[in-house]
Each structure stands twice: as structure tokens, then as C-alpha cells.
Structure 1
Amino acid sequence: MSFFGNKTTTSSTGTTQATEQDLANDVIVTNPPEDTISDIAFSPQADFFSASSWDKKVRIYEVTPTGATEGRALYEHDAPVLTTRWTNDGTKVISGGCDNQVKLYDIQSGQAQQIGAHDAPVRAVRFVECGPTNTPVVVSGSWDKTLRYWDTRQPQPISTIQLPERVYAMDSAQKLLVVGSAERHISIIDLSNPQQISKQTLSPLKWQTRSIACYPQGNGYALGSIEGRCAFQYINDAEQSKSGFTFKCHRNTETKAGRTENHIYTINSIAAHPVYGTIATAGSDGCFHFWDKDARHRLKGFPSLKGTISATAFNRTGSIFAVAVSYDWSKGHQFNTPQSPITIRLHPTKDEEIKQKNKRR
């Protein structure tokens, strides 16, 4: 086991702790959602992104060549929306929410339709390619303890997988699909054979799974929990034994009246850089960090954004890191005040922040 820790360290390119100046070029998105932002996803084809919210809406924005943002479309669910993603061709947006529906929005026609349903809220959706022919389907995970695959042209699921518990997080890359459920269950599915769970295990973290990101190569995944802890995992047992580990993050210590207080925060979001494969974590402490999992090193840690971070995402090239600052309910309803910020900021990434360092010989 290894721990990155949160102390400021120095490398050949300078400190790994960012300052407010490192956030000076961030773009604040105009016309953000009106309630907690549950998810953000970029188009795989262009600099468009969708944001789902507890205000029952999914908003679609364009990032212009100047770096500004413009709202392009909006569609609604009948209850809070918990998840959003894009189809691989960038022509449609999918979403799921507390109305138990899986919806698909066509960018060109501006029409939204229900393509699936669960018996409880839909926590996560992904667009995946299954089997030897790479058949494109939507997969949804729900609190009804099922995973369902949908052909967008028919109302009944192609297949349903029974899971051990409610779905709390899910991600996919290549032929890998990883589902994190209640009671720390982790279900791993090989999309070459999508109708069955290829491996069932428990999270190495002691508390509830909150976030998952699959590595771009499809050989492993990162887990985040409510306890300020992260795990880097691999599918292959030999690779896991060599390179897998857990570490503490999104924690801080302060001294008040001579007493030391330790604060531990939920890791609400994990995202993998699409080019470099480095990892971003973000939490209810309002901070985000970039990590080199292979070198077991923090590349850059950023100061608090003065509100909890509820969702993050990289664009298709990794040049933009979108960060949603909105209340995550981690301290109960009494802390959700009218003064709580609801913003989306776009951070232009620099290689020195997000690219692996050259290994010293």
C-alpha cells in the first residue's frame, strides 16, 4: 500500500500545489443549471458538452473557438437527472434520472424520446459497443439492482443483468465495463460477452463507492469513496499485484484552540485523461487534483473552489477539464442554502499539470 498524501512537494517543474493564479484562465459557463449538477459529459466529436441536474433538465453547451460557452439546447425529465453521456458519433445525448427513465436526445432534430425504463432511479448511463461486431447500445445502471442494455430503436431491453446491489457508479472504456454498487460490490463485465459478469469482487476501500473511471486502455479502473480514499485497480491479477494500490486524498488537518481536527471528504468524481491516461479526482472539499498513477505521484493539486465539486469531465483531447461546483448534499439539507454556488468552470489544462513526467534514469 502506498499513500500520495497531501503535502506540497517540489519537482523539476516546480511545486505540485497550484495557486489561484493557476485558475485565472478558467472560463465560467454562462446560464448554468439551477440546482445541483449531477454529471457532465463531452461529445467525442466536438467541443460540445451536456450537464445533467437536479432541476430535472439536461443542458447542452458549445465551447466556441474563443473559449467562451453558449447554450445550444435543453430537454427535460420528470424528476432530477442523475447522469448524461453522448453517443460515439456525437449526434445524440443520453440521460437517466429519478423518473426511472433512460432518454435519448437527437441534436439535429431537437427531439427527446424515452428509450428505456427501470423500476427505480437510473444512476448511470454509458454508450458502449458490444460483442465481436461492436454493436452500439446504451447501457444503464439503476437502484433497482439491474444493468440493462438498450437498442435505441426498441422499447424493451436487449438484455438485463441482475446485480448484487444498487448501482452507485459506473464507467466503461474499450471492452471494459465496471459497476460499483452498494455494500462495496464491484462488478466487472467484458463487453465482448456483455450478458454476464466476468468478475465479481469487493472494493478494496472500506466505505461506500462514490466514483469510478476506467483507464483509456481498458485494462483497469480508479475507484473513489466517501472516505477520502482512492484505489487504482487492474483487471489482470499479475498487473494488479504489481501496480494496484490505494491512497488517501481529499483530506486536510487544521488546529483549533490547540486541538487537531482531521477533515475527510467524499471523492465525488474521477476522470481519466483521454490521451495521457493520468487521473483527476475531485471532491466535496472543493478541490481537484491530477495524478500520475504509474509513478504514484501527484502532478498538481488545486485550491478550493469555495464549494463542493459534484462532477468533472475532460473533453475529447484532454485540453479542457470541466468542473461543476454545486452542493452535493454531503452535510445534509441544512447546508443547501441560496448562497451555495452553482457553476461550471472550464479549466484549460497544461501539459505540466496533466502529463506524466519523464522518468529519471
Structure 2
Amino acid sequence: MTAAAPPPPTGRELSSPPTDGISNLRFSNHSDHLLVSSWDKSVRLYDASADKLKVQFVHGGAVLDCCFHDDSSGFSASADHTVRRLVFDYKNEDILGRHDAPVRCIDYSYATGQVITGSWDKTLKCWDPRGASGKEHCLVGTYMQPERVYSLSLAGNRLVVATAGRHVNVYDIRNMSQPEQQRESSLKYQTRCVRCYPNGTGYALSSIEGRVAMEYFDLSEASQSKKYAFKCHRKSEGGKDIVYPVNAIAYHPIYGTFATGGGDGYVNVWDGSNKKRLYQYAKLPTSVASLSFSRDGRLLAVASSYTYEEGDKPHEPDAIFVRSVGEVEVKPKPKVLSNPAA
């Protein structure tokens, strides 16, 4: 009997991938379903374990973000200015509302039952998906931002919004009338991604300069003294430091460690508390555009999709890799205490 071939080092590649840049991918909170948005104007729903494309929606413009409501429905944010609700089983979609410019990011708040969108029109909008489609009463509120919205993240009642100009607004979503905190990124260059810590105490922020900043909500001196930034996704070549953008951050749901994906094609796993890199996966064919761990942390989905950090040039086709995650890759290593008697 011939032994089964070992899985490739990059993970198993899903069939029927998007045909243009992958903007985001997300695992469901309830299953191994994976929702993927793309510049080819599509949103695709896969069963990642079975490598099956279940349904595909096509919009009027590039789709810049997507999220789940539950296993039967989700939402999308499009460059055609629309926010859409997607019903998977019936292959139906309707327009929840609109912005005045491309909608860059979207998330669903389980705490409030609202959809939250951020746009390049410099606004944040909250929608009640239970309202009638396309009607104004779907819109709960519009909140001006200092610049174009690039990324947002939710943890419980906290919402963090990162915009152009290195602005960061922190909201309590129970009172959106004004930000709880207005900050400036501690990184020098354009923000790429923000993700809240799973325990709700702060957020990680990445930028185009190959750095990640670890921040805390608590403004006390003790908490603020714990914040730090570190370099990653860069290499030395010919005596020069080549720096890549950190496009994606994803937290492991069990251990609270996190993965970063960069324009260098690598995924690194970090123990933020102990300031250590735990693991580096095999190099992907091109830039890592997005990352997502499954609900139980067994799987990691990686979007291998060129993000144009080196300009318009020939590149590998877009692909989605799903790899099994070993405990050694994501579990923090215990601190070794020195023996005072030694």
C-alpha cells in the first residue's frame, strides 16, 4: 500500500479561488465555512474542510470586505458603495444601505445586533439588518471620522477604527455619539490592519513599514508602560533592509497568540505577552493578504494574493491555503524561571 503524501508545507489549496486580489477571508464562528471577498467583484462561501465552493455572489464593484452573521447569512462591503446582506441557502442578496464612497470594512456586532461599516467617505455607519432592505430605518447612525477608514475591529462592546492619517478612534458601541478615546498610531506610516485582543484589553496595529504595535485601552501609567512595537516581515539583502507591509493580523481563539501575514509571503505566529515569535510557516507564492483561524483554532486560512508592494509586476495567481494548526505552532511556551539557589 502506498503511503499518503504529506500535506504541502503551505497547506491544502482550495479549488475555485477568486480570479483577482483577495481582500479578506473569515471563518464562521459556528463551522468550518469560510467567507472570501475579492476584487473580482465576488463573495465566495466555501466549506473549507471539504474543499467545496458552496455559493458565489457577484456585485457591481470590487468587494473589499465581508463577514458572517451566522452560518446562513453574511454581509459584504463593496467599492460600488453598497452594503449587502447575503443569504447563503437561497443564494439571495439585497442592499442594506449605501455610503458615498467605497465601503472598505464591515463587521457584525453580536453585542448590539448591528452591522458596522467603515468607508473611504470618512464615515462609520451602523445598520440594523432587521430593518427593511434599502430603507433609511436600517441606518442606526452615521459617525464622522477624521479620515478614510482603513480597518476596524470589535471585541465585546469595544470598537477600534483605524483611518488614514494614522488616526485611531476607540468607541463603546453602546454609546457611539463620540469616541471614548482618540489616538494617533505609534507607528510612523500608514496603517494596514487593526485587531482587538480576544480578552478585550487592547489592540494590535500593523503598518506598511513592517511593524506591529501592541496597545492597551486602560490609560493608567501601569497599563501604558506595557505597550510596545516590534519589527517583522523584513529581510536584509545586499546590506540593505527590505521592509514589507504587515497586511493581516489574526488571533488564535484558544491561546490568544496571533499570526501576522506580510508582503514577503510569510506567516509568523507571535506570543505577544512574552514578546517572542513562536513559529514561521513556509513561504507562500506571493503576498499574504488576509488570515483567519477557525473557531476552534484547528485550521488557519491564508489568502496568498499579491498586494502590489513592489508595483505592477507579474505575480503568482491568487490562492487560498488552509492548513492544520499544530499546538506547538500556537501555544505559548512556559516561562523558564531561574533557580535562585543555583
Normalising by structure 1, report the TM-score.
Answer: 0.87
CA contact (8 A) 2:14 2:48 kept: no
Give every structure 1 segment of 4 or more consecutive aligned residues whose post-TM-superposition deviation is greater than 6 Å.
none
1:94-109 superposed matches below 5 A:
94-109=75-90
1:270 is the counterpart of 2:249: yes
1:175 is the counterpart of 2:154: no
Tell me the equivalent position of 1:249: 232
Deviation at 1:327, TM superposition (A): 1.3
Tell me the equivalent position of 1:279: 258
1:206-245 superposed matches below 5 A:
206-238=188-220, 240-245=223-228
**Percent identical residues:** 37
Tell me the equivalent position of 1:84: 66
1:355 is the counterpart of 2:331: yes
Provide the C-alpha distance between the structure 2 equivalents of 1:291 and 1:39, rounded to a whole number of angstroms. Answer: 21
Out of 54, 63, 71, which is 2:39 matched to?
54
CA contact (8 A) 1:233 1:244 kept: yes
Q: Which amino acid aligns with 1:92?
A: S
* 1:61–1:254 CA distance, 2 compared to 1 (3 A): same
Which stretch of the first structure deviates more once superposed, 294-303 or 26-35?
294-303
* 1:45–1:195 CA distance, 2 compared to 1 (3 A): farther
What is the number of residues matched between the two proteins? Answer: 326
Out of 92, 98, 105, which is 1:117 matched to?
98
Tell me the equivalent position of 2:23: 38
Tell me the equivalent position of 2:14: 29
SS in 2 for 1:353: helix
Normalising by structure 2, report the TM-score.
Answer: 0.92
1:63 is the counterpart of 2:48: yes
Deviation at 1:244, TM superposition (A): 1.0
Deviation at 1:81, TM superposition (A): 0.5
CA contact (8 A) 2:86 2:93 kept: yes
Provide the C-alpha distance between the structure 2 equivalents of 1:200 and 1:22, rounded to a whole number of angstroms. Answer: 46
Unmatched segments (≥5 aa) in structure 2: 1-5, 338-342
* 1:234–1:22 CA distance, 2 compared to 1 (3 A): farther
CA contact (8 A) 2:103 2:117 kept: yes
CA RMSD between the two structures: 1.5
Which stretch of the first structure deviates more once superposed, 22-31 or 167-176?
22-31
CA contact (8 A) 2:166 2:185 kept: yes
Tell me the equivalent position of 1:138: 115
Q: Which amino acid aligns with 1:245?
A: Y
Q: Which amino acid aligns with 1:140?
A: T
CA contact (8 A) 1:243 1:294 kept: no
CA contact (8 A) 1:102 1:114 kept: yes
Provide the C-alpha distance between the structure 1 equivalents of 2:8 and 2:204, rounded to a whole number of angstroms. Answer: 25
SS in 1 for 2:107: strand
Tell me the equivalent position of 1:6: none
Unmatched segments (≥5 aa) in structure 1: 1-20
Which stretch of the first structure deviates more once superposed, 120-129 or 22-31?
22-31
Q: Deviations over 1:81-111 (max 9, x none)?
A: 1001101x33211110110111110123221
CA contact (8 A) 1:174 1:216 kept: no
Which structure has more relative contact order (CA 8 Å, sep 6+)? It is: 1
Q: Deviations over 1:259-296 (max 9, x none)?
A: x1210000110111112111110011000100000001
